Amino acid sequence: MIRAIALVLAMALPVQAEQIVAGLSQTEVSINANFAGSEIIVYGAVKRDAPAPKKPRLEVIVTVEGPADPLIVRKKDRRFGIWVNAESVQIDLAPSFYAVATTGPLSEILTDAENLRYQITVPSEIRAVGIARQTDNSTDFIAALLRIREDEGRYRIAEGAVELTDSTLFRADVVLPANLTEGDYRVRMYITRGGMVIDAQDQVIAVQKQGLERFVNRLSKSQPLIYGLLSLAMAVAAGWGASTAFRFFRA
């Protein structure tokens, strides 16, 4: 009886005609002293149970999101000829890195309702609950955060950067900057038709410090006093070495 009910329910569910089958060029990124950034290739195909419809066109969206952290956004104002922090707001969570790559203009291949549902664009991933109570210009602070991180290369939108062949095979090259935050990076892939999401898939890239950088990073968090003393000793040693070298060359 239970099997019969399960069979009836399965037959009643809609059949998903198109599904994503994808992979990543690498699932781990190591940060060391010589790290200058990396590139991730997101590739895949669309699996179908029936011939692909000609209209509306199939589109692909790929996002890569870094770990999110709380932060404070400050507004500077010029007073008495000096730039000072005049106002600030608390952002609950903001991705340390966020890249969006698409096959076409985002406004044309994704509806606002679907963007709200799947939280695909950068602003939809910023959590700022209660920011309106902190300031009358909350939108200005969010815009400033987006502008600053875009200038730093942390937030990117590359419309038309995803290659799609025969509405089946796709590829996106995502460049990761040198100033990566350690943690898990979430890679999401979407296929859409007429602005509606048909299927989505998630994968994860682990970004970790290695070698001396990993040791120093862990020491700063687990033993801050020892880390501070070690940093001070290294600074003194570097200063002494520079002074000695300067006297040697002058002689």
Q: Pick from 12, 3, 27: which is nearest to 202 by CA? A: 27
Cα angle for residues 39, 43, 44 (degrees, 5° grid): 165
* Model confidence at 217: pLDDT above 60: no
Say if CB 184 and CB 29 are below 8 A apart: no
β-pair partners for 206:
28, 184
Q: Cα(first)–Cα(last) distance of the chain, in Å? A: 97
pLDDT one-digit tens code per residue, 12-23:
434 458 999 999
- Cα 234 from chain centroid? 34
Quick one: pLDDT at residue 54? 84
Residue-level length of the chain: 251
For residue 248, the model assigns a pLDDT of 65
Give the helix/strand (H/E) hosting 62.
Answer: strand 58-65
- For 36-53, what is the mean pLDDT? 90
In this prediction, residue 101 carries a pLDDT of 97
Task: Give pLDDT, residue 222.
Answer: 63
Whether 58 shows a pLDDT value over 80: the answer reads: yes
pLDDT score for 10: 40
Interatomic CA distance for residues 122 and 51, integer angstroms:
34
Nearest to 96 by CA among 141, 154, 38, 150: 154
CB 207 within 8 A of CB 185: yes
Residue range 77-89: mean pLDDT, rounded: 69
Looking at every residue in the chain, the average pLDDT score rounds to 82
Pairing of strands 163-165, 169-176: antiparallel
Lowest mean pLDDT among 4-8, 108-112, 141-145, 188-192: 4-8
How far is 102 from 115, CA to CA, in rounded Å?
13
Higher pLDDT, 54 or 172: 172
Residue 41 has what pLDDT?
96
Q: What is this structure's pTM?
A: 0.75
Q: Which residue has the tokens 């290659």?
A: 163
Burial of residue 61 (number of CB atoms within 10 Å: 0-12, 13-18, 19+): buried
